[in-house]
Structures are given as structure tokens and as C-alpha cells.
Amino acid sequence: MKYLVLGGGVAGVCCAEELCRLCPTDEVTIVSAYRTLKGASVIARITPFIEQIAVEERRLDDERHGNLHFVQGSAVHLDSARKASSVRLASGESLAFDRLCIATGAGPIHLPGSDSNGAVLTLRDTHSIAALAQRLRSARHVAVIGNGGIALELIYSLRGLNVSWVVRHAHIGDAFFDADAARFLLDTLQGCQGSVSAPAMDGAEGSCVEGGAVGGSDATAGSGVAQARQREGPPGALLGHAVGPTWIKHLAHGQRGGALTLHLGCEVERVSRGTAPGDPGGPWPVALELSDGRWVCADVAVAALGVTPSTEWLGPELERGRDGGIKVDTRMQTSLAGVFAAGDACSAPDFDTPDSQWFQMRLWTQARSQGIHAAHAMAGVEEDTASSMAFELFTHVTSFAGLKVVLLGRYNGQGLENEPEADLISFSRTTPPDPSQARRGDLEEAVEHLILDRLDVGAYGPSLLDPNFELDHVFD
């Protein structure tokens, strides 16, 4: 068998390595734009379903599988009509395959109108991170547009600088948190920074948050742009891998005493340069006109607007999902026989059913599990394998502003958008950070069992949040 994997990110590398393990006598070829690959390994198993993974960059020379072959390049065409299926690369080379996994990832969404302004950066790979780090050394003011995981991480890494944060939602971290949790993060910063003012989290009014910001995870979601979204690069463009979870360490700037101005509920209408109306501090390299009529001027603006699947090089013979990703079934197989997809490039609606506790969110953890699951299907492993367990329950563990965060199931009420508001009740509790006070924690496994067993705990109400209520003992 000839197995071909397109993409050197987490999904592609995990798929290729699993194929090498399952089929040691078969030929496995991985195609990547760069010689540096991104792999993932489990560093801790917190519960039967929750794994904490480490994403690491690997040189091609570090690969330890003798049947794994590497080709540097970028796919531009899939030929599946002939008897011998093949993929053509930008170099003109054709690679034949018996089974193919498309794990080409996703590309960043650009801020419309910013192409001609070199002061607007779109975070994508190590090159864009290096460019941002260089600009931060002399920046007086930085603008950040977006509200997903990358934006959250960036805001936290820029604490100490003067930053304006444009968020189109009513509160920060909309993809991860409800309004109560978002406010808790800002209140936490007030405790650790000492000078964080309370923001207006219920509307479009901006607020000034001095001396601190919010940290995030590895996901990308949300935006702060009003116009139509645009993709990066032409078909076949050589793009680097997405930024890894430790990318913020490269942004050390050593400055202190800045302030964060939070612009909630608004979007960027126009990108220009020069001096904004009524701004005596210009001229500025970039000036952003917001949908609420205000202006944000900065030395550098960073767009972290999310991603869109990199599938533009593929023809219509591959069915797409609603988000533009390659539609796959529960075996990660596409509408073409012998062609599979995994990671950010795919769309997996068959897993996301009304009764399911799993939904797709483009995370490193999901890229890893999808790559491994695709490898099992490509190698003909029976469907009832351990790899399918990853799709029974949505799980993600990360940290925000130095706080441990565990997300389980439909943690933010996903799927309840059409339910009557009167039927929805949520409870939240904040435990003061007092070391002398008894605190309950590490309840991930107990909550995991509650979700999977579908127990009705409505009778307990807010008692479930009582730190003296031993949830792990009652529902063990």
C-alpha cells in the first residue's frame, strides 16, 4: 500500500506516524511546505477522556520511522478520476497513492483593506511572530483585532504595553466563556495586577483596563471585522505551520506601565494610515475606523480573526461542509473512496449530532485525535477502536491568565440557542483565592461521568457548586 498524507501539522504528522506504526511494511509519504514538522504527544492523562498534550516542532532528521518518506512541497491538484490516483505538487511532481489523507490545515483570515499597509500583521507562523516581536521593540501603541484563543494569548503576552483590543462580541473570549466567566477573568487580573478597572461587559461601550490583560489557549475563533473575510495566499502557496502553544515566549518586550483599552461590540470598518480625527499624537502607521465611529491608532495592528480551511486547491468532487472544510463521515472518509481528511481542513458534522456531547472546534487536541482516527480507518482497523472514544465527549484543558481551565461537553450551552430563555438557568460561583479556605478542585472526572451517564442533577441546583459539597464522592 502507498499511503500519502498532505500536511506537516499536528493532524498530518499524527496520521503519518500512526500509519507507520500500524503498517510497518507499507510506504508512508508525508508532504509538507517546510522541513519542520509539528507533532503532538500526551504528557498527562487527567481522566479517561481528558488528555493534556504537548505540541512540539520536529526536524525531519528526528523522525524515527524507517518507512516514512518526506516530500517538501505544496499540493495544487487532486486527480482521482484515473485508475491510478495522484496528487500534483506546485513543483510539477506527481505522487501516486492508494489512500490519501488531506490534513492541509487552515489559513488565517486577513483584515480586509490591510494588504497595502505593512503595519497590519496577520499571525500565522514563526515568520509572522518574528516580525511582530521586532515591531514590539519600538511600538508606542498596539492594536489587536479578534476574540479567539490567539487573541486572548496575545493580549496576555502584551501586558505592560499600551494596547487597544477590538472585540465584536459583548464580552471577551466569547468562544470559551459566558459573560460571568469573562468578568471573572478580568476580576482576577485586578487581584494580581492591582489596577484593573471593571469593564462594561454588556454592550458596545469601550472600557479602559490599565496594567493587565487576559491570557488564552490554542484555539482560533471570533473576529472583529465587519467586511467580507478574505483568505491568505493563492492556491499552492507555501505557508508555514500554525503557531504553537508556546509562541508567546518569543514576544518578550520588557516594557511596563501600559494600559489596555477594550472596545466591545464593534468591528473594523476601514483601515488607513495617518492621523485620526481629533488625535494629536499622529501620524500613525495604522489607523482603524470602528463601527461605532471611534478610531484606534497604533504603530502596529495584529489581526487574529480566526481561520478558514485550506481547501481552495481542491475541486468540487469533494463535498464541503458548511464552514468550507472537507466533509468527512465518522471514519474521516470524504465523498471520494480512498480519500480521507483530518484536522482543520475537515468538517465533521456526523459526529456533531443533537444527542452528541462532542462538537468540532479547531484545537490541537482534536487535530491529534482526528489524525490518529483517520490512520486507523486508512489501515483498515475495525471501527470499534479506542481512537473513536475521542469523539464521545468534547474535552479541552488549557490555561487563561495563569488559571487552569477545563472545558467539558457542551460547556457553553452549545445547541441551546433556540430554546426559550425562560427554560435556561445557569449557576456560577467564584471562590475567593484564600489559602486558608477549604476549596474543592480537580473534579474533572466526576463531571465527566455525570455528562456521559446523562444523570439528571437538576434537583441539586446551585448546591453542586458548593465547595463543601463533595461531588466526586456523591456521584462516584
Across-strand partners of 327? 347
In angstroms, the CA 170 to CA 419 distance is: 20
Please name the residues in contact with 328: beta carbons below 8 A apart, sequence gap of 6 or more.
Answer: 334, 340, 341, 342, 346, 347, 348, 350
Per-residue confidence (pLDDT) for residue 155, from 0 to 100: 83
Residue-wise pLDDT tens digits, 414-456: 888 889 988 888 888 887 665 554 445 678 888 999 999 988 8
β 163-167/259-264 pair status: parallel
Per-residue confidence (pLDDT) for residue 192, from 0 to 100: 43
Per-residue confidence (pLDDT) for residue 161, from 0 to 100: 84
Per-residue confidence (pLDDT) for residue 43, from 0 to 100: 73
In angstroms, the CA 390 to CA 18 distance is: 16
Cα maximum dimension of the chain: 71
Q: What is the 3-state secondary structure (H, E, C) of 441-455?
A: CCCHHHHHHHHHHCC
- Helix, strand, or coil here: 341? strand
In angstroms, the CA 46 to CA 442 distance is: 9
Fold of 108-306: FAD/NAD(P)-binding domain (3.50.50)
Per-residue confidence (pLDDT) for residue 275, from 0 to 100: 77
Is 172:262 a contact under the CB 8 Å cutoff?
Answer: yes
Please name the residues in contact with 394: beta carbons below 8 A apart, sequence gap of 6 or more.
Answer: 357, 358, 359, 361, 407, 408, 409, 410, 411
Per-residue confidence (pLDDT) for residue 366, from 0 to 100: 93
What is the mean pLDDT of the segment spanning 375-404? 84
In angstroms, the CA 70 to CA 382 distance is: 28
Residue-wise pLDDT tens digits, 193-247: 333 333 444 433 333 333 322 222 333 333 333 332 333 333 333 334 555 555 6
Q: Regarding predicted confidence, which is higher, 265 or 60? A: 265
From 273, 265, 298, 303, select the one nearest 136 (Cα to Cα): 298
What is the mean pLDDT of the segment spanning 125-149? 86
Please name the residues in contact with 33: beta carbons below 8 A apart, sequence gap of 6 or more.
Answer: 8, 72, 73, 74, 238, 239, 240
Q: What is the mean pLDDT of the chain?
A: 81
The backbone torsions φ and ψ at residue 35, rounded to the nearest 5 degrees and listed phi first, read -80, -5
pLDDT of residue 256 exceeding 70, the answer is no
HSE toward the beta carbon, residue 41, CA cutoff 13 A: 5
Other C-beta atoms within 10 Å of 88: how many? 17
Most confident of the following: 64-68, 340-344, 364-368 = 340-344
**CATH number of the 2-105+310-392 domain:** 3.50.50.60
Domains 2-105+310-392 and 108-306 share a fold: yes
Is 194:172 a contact under the CB 8 Å cutoff?
Answer: no
Please name the residues in contact with 77: beta carbons below 8 A apart, sequence gap of 6 or more.
Answer: 87, 88, 313, 315
- Judging by beta carbons within 10 Å of its beta carbon (0-12, 13-18, 19+), is residue 180 exposed, middle or buried? middle
In angstroms, the CA 312 to CA 324 distance is: 9
Set of cell numbers at residue 79? 486527480
pLDDT of residue 72 exceeding 50, the answer is yes
Kind and range of the H or E run holding 377: helix 364-378
Per-residue confidence (pLDDT) for residue 56, from 0 to 100: 81
From 30, 27, 33, 32, select the one nearest 16 (Cα to Cα): 30
Q: Which of 29-33, 99-103, 187-191, 239-243 has the lowest mean pLDDT?
A: 239-243
What is the mean pLDDT of the segment spanning 280-308? 90
Domain map (residue ranges) of the chain: 2-105+310-392, 108-306, 398-474
Sorting pLDDT into bands at 50, 70 and 90, what band is 114?
confident
Q: What proportion of the chain, given as a percentage, has pLDDT over 90?
A: 41
